[in-house]
Amino acid sequence: MSFLPKVNLRRTFLIARRDYLGYVKTWGFWISFLLPFIFGGFGFFMATADIDLTPTQYVTVLDETGIHKSGLDAMYDEMLEDAAQNAMSAKAFFIQDKAKRAEFQRALRAEGTDAAAAYITENVPGLSTEFPPPVADFEFIEPPANMLKDLIPYLRDEKPLTLDGKDVTLGGVVIFKPGPEPAQPIAQYWSTNVNKVDAPDLVNSYLKRLARVSYLETEGLSVTELDRRVASAPEVANFNPVKAGEEDQGVNSSDTVPFFVATVLAFMLWLTVFSGAYMLLTSMLEEKLNKLLEMMLATTRFSEIILGKLLGVAALTLSMMAPYIIVGIVGVVGYVAFGPDQDVVKGLVSAFDARMIIFLIIYLILGYVLYGAFFIALGSLSSSMQDAQTLTTPILFILMACAAIIPLGLSAPDSPLLRIATFIPFSAPFAAIVRLPSDPPLWELLLSTAFLTLLCIGTIALAGRIFRFGVLSGAGAEVVVAWFKRVVLRRKA
Amino acid sequence: MTAPLALHAVSKSFGGKPAVSGVSFTVEPGQIIGFLGPNGAGKTTTLRMALGLIKPDSGDVKLFGDTPGESAFGRVGFLPEERGLYKKQTAREAIAHMARLNGIKKKAAFTLADEMLDRYGLGEAKRKKNKDMSKGMAQKVQLPAAIAHDPEFHILDEPFSGLDPVNQQVLEDMVREIASRDRTIIFSTHVMEHAERLCDRIILMASGRKVFDGTTEAALAEAPRRVTLASEMDGLAELVERFAVSVDTHPGGDLSLILKPGAQAHDILERSVTQGLRLSKYEPIRPTLHEAFVTLVGEDVRQDMDLNEGPLA
């Protein structure tokens, strides 16, 4: 007697093909397939169409003290300069030379965008110094009236306000009133939009700065100098002892990229397993409700139907994931070929080493088969979508728990929880993948794979029995209990 | 020639409740067999065991002389009691898919599907998706799907259920067409009239047991023979007494008799002529399988089944 069930490949292919085409011909498949392109196109359109989704808010300042408006304006300019520095910092991505990149970043932080642009012009010829100008969420304008009571109609949009020939609405009013000390004014913010707090946030920053300035400068210290020194303070250098034998022992992108890649791959694996298993459930339920299985069983083995479904939905899931996979592969290959940051290139190459590719394929197959077989069995026991939801809830909780442990791979790849999860077949595919960049012992991976394989075989055998029972019975959640008592507990009804 | 199906003392219980008890019969090549009985009589369970879909608790099943399973794939066409089609397939795709599962090549399967749909008057459904078909049409498409590969042995479980009288007649014609090609057919039904019209042999099931197995004529012979008589002269009731098991008098004066075993309707006719009693009505009633079934299973069993499992048609 053969250990593995017999299958006729032609019949298995025909069942897989029908399942595949059955889904491919639906609108839902094409919407899912085209979703990344639709989102990409939408994003491109939004970026190029220059549509302002968050129109600028116009805020005015009534400064009864006569000393704070100019300070607030200066703070506003600094805010724009910070935004410009953030935009300019993206240039570092294109500077291949590590030393030049570090110097560029230092100049940007300590001396501003003009100094950083000058550095690029001088040291990185060919790299543009242009960057998108920062756009503030709000803008200060001159007050249309000098008393709050006269500004209220503008805030309520009861009175028109024209700015550069354009009708606008007054979004807020900042009021400074004299306080106990010049550095402690009473500040108020009036607006009908209570959720938009960009302007009051800036005022708060200004008031905090004012408190520091008033304290430090009475002691004869310069706040500007303090800020400059903080910006140009040295940073801690990270080293990894595993790299002790290497020329450069410092931690850089080549060390961190594999962990990010593994986390992304584990999430993709989870998504593939989840969507594949769920499609198997609905496919099985459709067969059950269509009452076709019994007719097929006169000419087809149970094992062929299960295998055909697993293969058909696997092909379908891969088709649905294809746009993401292709974009991912093109992105990685493109960066490895043309990417400016060699540390990232090195990290990508090491992330996709042979071990990762081999174990990714193994865990993808085993994870899909394990959850797929469970969902097929549960689908065959269900007689309605409600039944299916009730029966699959415990497995969905397990899958959710598996998704929750994946991020641990970034911060604590060798945490006890991840190590234990590697040996639990339900979580092994995801836990093992996120641990791979931290070089777990090979025996752990092999043992984990062995446990998973054994459970897969057991699950398929069990799923076969449940499938056989479920298909030929009226089924429904209530019969699961009866079946369990009779077949597993061997109790008489 | 090997018998397509042979069951020997087959029994099956579900959760301790017997569904089929000690059933034995053999289906010979070329026969059309009506597998009769009310709902819950064990017909579907027996047919599923015949196909190997479920294993009997005891007894032996042989399909084409072998254990049911792969060896019979392609030789059997099975139409289950609960039926359906893939909603998004067209009728021709549905038939071709089943034909291909039974080993027919793609092009030949689609040609065959088109031919069958034309032959059975379903040509208009060829490119119609199953979800857009009427229930009756979808049910009629399922039979060609089950038998597209021209199997030697057809197992049809309640093929007429859910169909209106017109479509039942269409399906009867389909079954006759299959039989005309010397194929073996066993079909279950709880509607006796179909079996009366189509079968040359019937097997009656009740409460999981086989209660009759023989020709239709032999089954009908088990049914009580009835005759309705009327006369404008006195003495008819006394004349018929010796021939009848029971006599019912209708409001108009007509008498309904159930004849004693061995008594014949024409004996009454001869007797009335001899005694000079002129009959104004003489109507021997043709027995039905329904009556035969009631006789065979007994009134108590029938009433019990009526109460628990729905009326016997």
Cβ-defined contact of A18 to B51 (cutoff 8 Å)? no
Q: Cα distance from B259 to chain A (closest Cα, Å)?
A: 45
Contact (CB, 8 A) for A467 and A381: no
Model confidence at B245: pLDDT above 70: yes
Structure tokens at A200: 């009051």
If asked whether residues B162 and B183 sit together in one domain, one would say yes
**Euclidean distance between CA atoms B86 and B102, whole angstroms:** 17
Identify which of A14, A295, A300 has the shortest CB distance to residue B79: A295
The average confidence (pLDDT) of chain A is 85
pLDDT tens track for A349-404:
989 999 999 999 999 999 999 999 889 888 888 878 888 888 888 999 999 999 99
Q: Would the pLDDT of A476 be above 60?
A: no
Which residue in A376, A230, A214 sits closest to A305, CA to CA?
A376
Q: What is the pLDDT of residue A472?
A: 67
Q: What is d(CA B162, CA B173) in angstroms, rounded to the nearest whole number?
A: 17
CATH code at B276?
Answer: 3.30.70.100
pLDDT at B80 over 90: no
Do residues A479 and A381 touch, judged by C-beta distance below 8 A?
Answer: yes
Best residue in B53, B81, B105 for a mutation probing chain A (most A CBs within 10 Å): B53
The alpha carbon of residue A493 is apart from the nearest alpha carbon of chain B, in Å, by: 5
Q: Which residues of chain A are at the B interface, by a Cβ-Cβ cutoff of 8 Å?
A: 6, 10-11, 14-15, 18, 22, 25-26, 286, 289-292, 294-301, 472, 482, 486, 492-493
Q: Give yes or no for residue A112 having a pLDDT over 80.
A: yes
For B133, phi then psi, to 5°, come to: -90, 155
Residue A142 burial by Cβ neighbours in a 10 Å radius (0-12, 13-18, 19+): exposed
Mean pLDDT of A250-271: 89
Domain extent, residue B131, equals 5-221
Q: Lowest-confidence range among A213-217, A483-487, B134-138, B156-160?
A: A483-487
Task: Give yes or no for residue A473 having a pLDDT over 90.
Answer: no
- pLDDT at position A450 is 96
Residue closest to A130 by CA, chosen among A72, A94, A166, A91: A91
B291 in any annotated domain: no
Of chain A, the percentage scoring pLDDT greater than 90 comes to 35
Query: Residue B311 — very low, low, confident or very high, per pLDDT cuts 50/70/90?
Result: very low
| Residue B35: both structure tokens together | 């597998």
Residues B121 and B138 in one domain: yes
In the block, which residue shows the tokens 């093992």? A432
Inside any domain, residue B200: yes
Residues B164 and B110 in one domain: yes
Q: A296 and B101 in contact by Cβ < 8 A?
A: yes
Q: Is a pLDDT exceeding 50 seen at residue B49?
A: yes
**In a shared domain, residues B150 and B266:** no
Burial of A454 from C-beta contacts in 10 A (0-12 / 13-18 / 19+): exposed
Q: Are strands A170-177 and A57-63 parallel, antiparallel or unpaired?
A: parallel
DSSP for A414-481, written as a single string:
T-HHHHHHHHSTTTHHHHHHHHGGG---HHHHHHHHHHHHHHHHHHHHHHHHHHHHHHHS---HHHHH
Domain check: are B187 and B267 in the same one? no
Give the pair of three-digit tokens for residue B239: 């004349």
- Rounded to an integer, the average pLDDT of A208-226 is 86
**Which of residues B123 and B309 earns the better pLDDT score?**
B123
Residue A9 pLDDT more than 80? Answer: yes
Q: Which of A188-202, A288-302, A384-398, B164-178 has the lowest mean pLDDT?
A: A288-302
Does B55 reside within a domain? yes
**A136 Cβ neighbours under 8 A, 6+ residues apart:** A56, A76, A79, A80, A83, A198
Q: Is residue B83 part of a domain?
A: yes
Q: Give strand pairing partners of B153.
A: B76, B184
Q: Taking each helix axis from N to C terminus, what angle separates A385-405 and A416-423, rounded to the nearest 10 degrees?
A: 130
Query: Has residue A338 got a pLDDT over 70?
Result: yes
Query: A247 or A335, which is more confident?
Result: A335
With cut-offs at 50, 70 and 90, classify the pLDDT of residue B309. Answer: very low
φ/ψ of residue A356, rounded to 5: -65, -45
Q: Rounded mean pLDDT of B132-143?
A: 84
Question: In the prediction, which pLDDT does A308 show?
Answer: 92
Q: Are residues B35 and B69 in the same domain?
A: yes
Closest approach of chain B CAs to the CA of A459, in angstroms? 21
Number of domains in chain B: 2
Mean pLDDT across B282-288: 84
**A195 burial type by CB count under 10 A (0-12 exposed, 13-18 middle, 19+ buried):** exposed
User: What is the per-residue pLDDT for A467?
Assistant: 77
What pLDDT, on a 0 to 100 scale, did the predictor assign at position B186?
94
- Residues B267, B122: one domain? no
Instruction: Look at residue A248 in the predicted model and tell me its pLDDT.
Output: 67
Q: Which residue in A18, A290, A298 is closest to B84 by CB distance? A: A290
Assign residue B66 the CATH number of its domain. 3.40.50.300
Q: Whole-angstrom Cα distance, residue A198 to residue A136?
A: 9
A281/A382 Cα distance (integer angstroms)? 9
Residues B210 and B238 in one domain: no
Q: What is the mean pLDDT of residues A114-135?
A: 82
SS3 B282: strand
Residue recorded with tokens 């292709």? A326
pLDDT for position A474: 53
User: Closest Cα partner for B228 from B220, B236, B238?
Assistant: B236
Contacts A289 to B, Cβ<8 Å: 84
Query: How much is the pLDDT for A431?
Result: 94
How far apart CA A37 and CA A287 sit, in angstroms, is: 32
Q: Give the residue with greater pLDDT, A46 vs A473.
A: A46
Could you tell me the residue ranges of all domains in chain A? Answer: 9-37+253-488, 57-231
Q: What is the DSSP string of B53-83?
A: SS--SEEEEEETTB-SSGGGTTTEEEE-SS-
pLDDT at B301 > cutoff 70:
no
Q: What is the pLDDT, as a whole number, of residue A493? A: 44
Beta-bridge partner residues of A176: A63, A187
Confidence label for A490 from pLDDT (cuts 50, 70 and 90):
low
Interface contact flag, B84 A472, Cβ < 8 Å: no
Contacts with A300 from chain B: Cβ below 8 Å: 73, 101
Asked if the model's pLDDT at residue A65 lies above 50, the reply is yes
pLDDT over 70, % of chain A: 92
Quick check: A33 pLDDT over 50? Answer: yes
Is the pLDDT score of A1 beyond 50? Answer: no
User: How does residue B310 score in pLDDT terms, banded at 50, 70 and 90?
Assistant: very low
CA distance B174 to chain A (A): 18
- Identify whether residues B39 and B51 lie together within a single domain: yes
A14/B97 CB distance under 8 A: yes
B18-27, B190-199, B285-294 — which one is most confidently predicted on average? B18-27
Examine the domain organization and report whether B211 and B273 are in the same domain: no
* Whole-number pLDDT of residue A105: 85
Cβ distance of A291 and B16 shorter than 8 Å: no
* Listed residue (A126, A121, A123, A128) closest to A100, CA to CA: A123
Q: Do B145 and A301 touch (CB under 8 A)?
A: no
Share of chain B above pLDDT 70, in %: 95
Q: What count of residues does chain B have?
A: 313
Residues B144 and B256 in one domain: no
Check residue B39 and give its pLDDT. Answer: 81
* Cβ within 8 Å, pair A298-B54: no
Closest CA to A76 of A141, A171, A165: A141
Mean pLDDT of the B274-286 span: 85
How many C-beta neighbours within 10 Å does residue B42 have? 25
* Other beta carbons less than 10 A from residue B55's beta carbon: 11
What dihedral do alpha carbons A323, A329, A335, A341 form, nearest 10°?
Answer: 110
Answer yes or no: do B149 and B41 share one domain.
yes
A394 CB neighbour count, 10 Å cutoff: 11
Q: Tell which of B101, B133, B150, B156 to mutate to test the A interface (max A CBs under 10 Å).
A: B101
For residue A419, the model assigns a pLDDT of: 92
- Structure-token pair, residue A316: 């379908």
B53–A472 C-beta distance less than 8 A: yes
ipTM of the complex: 0.77
For residue A452, pLDDT over 80 is answered with yes
Q: Could you report the per-residue pLDDT of A478-487, keeping only the tens digit for each?
A: 556 666 666 6
Nearest CA in chain B to A301: B70
